[in-house]
Amino acid sequence: MDLILDRDLDAGDPMPTESELSEVLGVGRNTLRESLKVLQALGVIEIRHGFGMFVAPSNFDALADGLSFRGRLSLRHEGLEALQLVDIRQALESGLIGGCLDQTTPGHLARIEEAVVKMETLAARGETFSEADAEFHRLLFEPLGNELLMNLMSVFWKVYRKIHLEIGITTTGLVDTAAQHRAIYDAVVAKDAATASTLLSRHFDGIRRSIREFVDAN
């Protein structure tokens, strides 16, 4: 990693060959290859067979996998880490929503409402709407133009989905959940930051309650 930084390499840039790395780092070929496998798993480099090694683009898959495992593992005990992950996502969204309001355009609001309408339609049919739910939350914060935030939200959504699958997805409360999203949308349209933040914060009470019920039952 230090070598990548010292040489000012960027995402997509080719890495030195194994022979050069082995010589520069002063390690044997077997040790080097094991290290490269670790860096590949961490998303630092990517190995394209037949082409060589390259500095990997932003990749949060390893973070998502690690957090998902820790959260799911905790469900078999006291559920502490799963609950903490919900707390973090709750703090992230409720804390940042105020900064989005002045940057949300009418066109963007229309796209957010499309996601709400889709949730309402599916809920009325007794169908789950995880994709529309994820799109709603992504669109809320897209106006900030913060790529790192979008990546982190994607990570937390993937983790949330795996935890949700672990505890079991039900079709109860779908209409109420869709209504919660409608209320958040209305607060965003009204540029009411305090209400939007409060509603987003309350929105996570359901998954937190489901986690506690699952842990108590098991």
Looking at the structure, tell me whether residues 88 and 11 fall in a common domain: no
pLDDT of 106: 93
Q: What is the CATH number of the domain that holds 165?
A: 1.20.120.530
Looking at the structure, tell me whether residues 51 and 86 fall in a common domain: no
Looking at the structure, tell me whether residues 110 and 27 fall in a common domain: no
For 175, residues 6+ apart whose C-beta sits below 8 A from its C-beta are 120, 123, 124
Looking at the structure, tell me whether residues 110 and 72 fall in a common domain: yes
Looking at the structure, tell me whether residues 11 and 89 fall in a common domain: no
Give the pLDDT mean for 141-151: 89
Q: Which domain holds residue 13?
A: 2-55
**pTM of the prediction?**
0.77
Looking at the structure, tell me whether residues 100 and 116 fall in a common domain: yes
Give the pLDDT mean for 122-126: 92
Looking at the structure, tell me whether residues 78 and 147 fall in a common domain: yes
Sequence letter at residue 22: S
Looking at the structure, tell me whether residues 102 and 188 fall in a common domain: yes
Looking at the structure, tell me whether residues 119 and 199 fall in a common domain: yes
Mean pLDDT of the chain: 89
Looking at the structure, tell me whether residues 80 and 188 fall in a common domain: yes
For residues 19 and 29, give the distance between their C-alpha atoms in angstroms, rounded to a whole number.
8
Structure tokens at 129: 């709407």
For residues 141 and 150, give the distance between their C-alpha atoms in angstroms, rounded to a whole number.
8
Estimate the crossing angle of helix 147-167 against helix 80-100, to 10 degrees.
140
| Model pLDDT for residues 53-105, shown as the tens digit of each residue | 999 887 787 778 888 888 888 888 888 888 898 898 899 899 999 999 989 99
